[in-house]
Chain A
Amino acid sequence: MSQKVLLNAKEVNIILHRLACQLIEKHNDFSNTVLIGLQPRGIFLADRLAQILTEDYKVKNIKLGHLDITFFRDDFRRSDKPLEANATKINFLVEDKNIVFIDDVLYTGRSIRAALTAIQSFGRPNEIELLTLIDRRFSRHLPIQPDYRGRQVDVINKEKVKVNWKEHDNEDSVYLIEK
């Protein structure tokens, strides 16, 4: 198994700030916008963006939630590993809100499809956008594209993109791992 660094900590930091600025350009004061990190690994990116928006760009009252899509996935009973559920924390109404889904890697698009179904259990949003740190082009199974992307990468199917976060993996980095 070999691995190659796609992004180091400094590059991740620059990209996070750029994504935060793009969100501000579109959503201004975030009064009708909610950020929703997708479990399990999108929540680190969502938490980090919310932190940057609050601390560096002084945006007040950011609404941040975590959404677990386990029960909405279409590979239940099809994958080798059993699916483990994670916590959903959405303590606000999503009715008529502009939602930004946040995930670390966009690959086949199936997780986002599940998230689109899952969020309907909480109400009818006005609009849903997608933000991902890594967009794996050419791997999509569904017609889903991000509205905000950190880096676009071309990866063949036997390779894997792994995003590490300081809070969880002790470093901010993105690796391309050959299986």
Chain B
Amino acid sequence: MSELSVNHLLGIKYLKEEDIQLIFETADHFKEVINRPIKKVPSLRDITIANLFFENSTRTKLSFELAEKRLSADVINFSSSQSSVKKGETLIDTVNNILSMKVDMVVMRHPNPGAGVFLSKHVKASIINAGDGAHEHPTQALLDSYSIREKLGTVKGKKVVIVGDILHSRVALSNIFALQLQGAQVMVCGPKTLIPKYIDKLGVKVETNLRKALNWCDVANMLRVQNERMDISYFPSTREYTQQFGVNRELLDSLNKDITIMHPGPINRGVEITSDVADSKQAIILNQVENGVAIRMSVIYLLASKIKQ
């Protein structure tokens, strides 16, 4: 396969396994490119990409922007806090105004689930979902799987536990889809209040005991506690959360195996994982960041190849 089956990247659930493999193979080549003395290629010289961030983001935005610039695309940035959205403009109007400036591709983060799908039905540009509410964050899931593949050789047959705030996490849902599509087994682990009802219907195991979950898995993906999304108290205190669901050196040493630790960032050091774990060899957190640029270059490149002149 040399072409994606989709024209937009709205979520992992719209992808086929072959799409993911193609994205990974292309990312391998881009990883080589970003380790050259000159890290830029001219492929997207005539493409304009708009980064529309209706919600705050640091690393995803930087990672996308870097990927776009390394492909030589023209980039325009938009953040809702400094825009006419504050004056009451609708999403379609905002985007149509931007598209009138002849934009070919839109990378959008939006607080509402389904915003990317909605947009893809109303505008002609290629849409990449950079996170829509608590729904999906496909490029994060792709880079997570890619990092597992890089560290363990394959994703197929591996056991991955996603720990923490599953309820508010778009990373969790996209990861579940991506890992299952590639033949991994997935477990979610966290306080019962932060695990969505009926999540077992997606074919994932559910565990509320972290030690049992770690004993089962090859990889632990530790999610951030999203205090900003919590309108009520889901657990008694951060201290209690850390005691029950935080990973520290003693806990890892007490397991009879080396598991790989991941975190999509930003880390609340000392809450989800302690500093000594985050900075240890078992953690591939910084590899995830590097792979993020290669994966995003790959996705942008493959989608751009479908925009015909």
Residues of A within 8 A of B (CB): 68, 70-73, 76-78, 81-88, 117-118, 120-123
Nearest chain B CB to A76 CB, angstrom units: 5
B305, A71: Cβ atoms closer than 8 Å: no
Q: Which residues of B contact A78 (CB under 8 A)?
A: 309
Given A72-B41, A72-B42, A76-B43: A122 and B304 within 8 A (CB)? no
Instruction: Report the Cα distance A86→B32, complex, angstroms.
Output: 11
B305, A76: Cβ atoms closer than 8 Å: yes
Nearest chain B CB to A123 CB, angstrom units: 6
Nearest chain B CB to A81 CB, angstrom units: 7
Instruction: Report the Cα distance A85→B32, complex, angstroms.
Output: 12
A82, B43: Cβ atoms closer than 8 Å: no
B304, A77: Cβ atoms closer than 8 Å: yes
Nearest chain A CB to B275 CB, angstrom units: 36
Nearest chain A CB to B211 CB, angstrom units: 43
A85, B38: Cβ atoms closer than 8 Å: no
Number of interface residues of B (CB under 8 A): 27
Chain B 298-309 near chain A by CB (<8 Å), digits 1 or 0: 000110111111
Instruction: Report the Cα distance A72→B39, complex, angstroms.
Output: 12
Q: Count of A-B contacts with CB under 8 A?
A: 57
Q: Which residues of A contact B46 (CB under 8 A)?
A: 77
Nearest chain B CB to A57 CB, angstrom units: 32
Task: Contacts A78-B309, A120-B38, A121-B40 known; list 15 others, CB within 8 Å.
Answer: A71-B42, A77-B46, A77-B305, A81-B2, A82-B3, A83-B2, A85-B29, A87-B32, A88-B33, A118-B41, A121-B33, A121-B41, A122-B36, A122-B37, A122-B38
B309, A121: Cβ atoms closer than 8 Å: no
Q: Which residues of B contact A120 (CB under 8 A)?
A: 38
Nearest chain A CB to B137 CB, angstrom units: 25
**What are 28 A-B residue pairs whose CB atoms fall within 8 Å in the complex?**
A70-B29, A71-B33, A71-B42, A71-B71, A72-B42, A72-B43, A76-B43, A76-B305, A77-B46, A77-B307, A77-B308, A81-B2, A82-B2, A82-B302, A82-B305, A82-B306, A84-B2, A87-B28, A87-B29, A88-B32, A88-B33, A121-B33, A121-B37, A121-B38, A121-B39, A121-B40, A121-B41, A122-B36
Chain B 49-61 near chain A by CB (<8 Å), digits 1 or 0: 0000000000000
Q: Residue of A at shortest CB range from B38? A: A121
Is B96 close to A, CB under 8 A?
A: no
Interface positions of B from 270 to 295, Cβ below 8 Å from A: none
Minimum-distance CB pairs A-B, first 10: A71-B41, A121-B38, A85-B29, A82-B3, A71-B43, A82-B2, A84-B2, A121-B36, A82-B305, A76-B43
Instruction: Report the Cα distance A143→B293, complex, angstroms.
Output: 36
Q: Which residues of B contact A122 (CB under 8 A)?
A: 36-38
Q: Which residues of A contact B302 (CB under 8 A)?
A: 82
Q: Residue of A at shortest CB range from B301? A: A71
Instruction: Report the Cα distance A86→B43, complex, angstroms.
Output: 15
Instruction: Report the Cα distance A78→B43, complex, angstroms.
Output: 12
Is B26 close to A, CB under 8 A?
A: yes
Instruction: Report the Cα distance A68→B33, complex, angstroms.
Output: 10
Q: Which residues of B contact A83 (CB under 8 A)?
A: 2, 305
Instruction: Report the Cα distance A54→B266, complex, angstroms.
Output: 53
Given A71-B42, A72-B42, A88-B32: A123 and B309 within 8 A (CB)? no
Instruction: Report the Cα distance A81→B71, complex, angstroms.
Output: 20
Q: Which residues of B contact A71 (CB under 8 A)?
A: 29, 33, 41-43, 71, 301
Chain B 10-37 near chain A by CB (<8 Å), digits 1 or 0: 0000000000000001101100110011
Nearest chain B CB to A94 CB, angstrom units: 10
Q: Which residues of B contact A87 (CB under 8 A)?
A: 28-29, 32
Q: Which of A71, A77, A87, A120 has the most CB of B within 10 A?
A: A71
Nearest chain B CB to A2 CB, angstrom units: 29
Given A77-B304, A77-B308, A77-B309: A85 and B36 within 8 A (CB)? no
A123, B37: Cβ atoms closer than 8 Å: yes
Instruction: Report the Cα distance A70→B41, complex, angstroms.
Output: 10
Instruction: Report the Cα distance A129→B276, complex, angstroms.
Output: 53
Q: Which residues of A contact B305 (CB under 8 A)?
A: 76-77, 82-83
Instruction: Report the Cα distance A8→B29, complex, angstroms.
Output: 35
Nearest chain A CB to B3 CB, angstrom units: 5
